Amino acid sequence: MFDIGWSELVVIGVVALIAIGPKELPGVLRMVGQWMGKARRMAAEFQNQFQEAMREAEIADMKKQFDDVTAAAGNLASNNVLTSTVKDVEEALKLDTSAVATPTPPEPPTPETFKEATVHAATAEPASPAPAVETPASETSASADAAPLQPADKPT
């Protein structure tokens, strides 16, 4: 602190003893000690405030660097092909519930959709009342043997 050696302190002590006197010297030394304590506390307080200001400046600088890195990472993430692909997939997987309607039952099949349409059409024709004509049993069996049904013509 000050460049004062032991020899200078002895000279100051002897001068103080002669100038102040032995009776008053302990009170003066106590008062000097209190002033020194106050000066040291003030210096320590100033030093603590200065260090706190330095810490705040460092924290502000670190926060700025962190914000810069975060912004750079955000830019990299938004330009990343994988991230954009993930976003596209997420958008594609979202269901639009407003466009979803209640399902309608399927229409019943029409005779035209079956292979047996001709058989169906033949059986669906209204039978006209014909005069009752008796045919012999031999003719009925002969006509049934003459035209056997094909597999496509069999009714189901």
Number of domains in the chain: 1
Residue 20's CB: how many other CB atoms inside 10 A?
14
State pLDDT tens for residues 52-91. 999 999 999 999 999 988 888 777 665 666 667 777 788 8
Which domain does 20 fall in, by range? 6-93
Question: Is 67 among the domain residues?
Answer: yes
Total-model pTM: 0.37
- What is the C-alpha separation between 55 and 115, in angstroms, rounded? 90
- By the 8 A CB rule, do 94 and 128 touch? no
Q: How many Å separate Cα 129 from the centre of its chain? A: 79
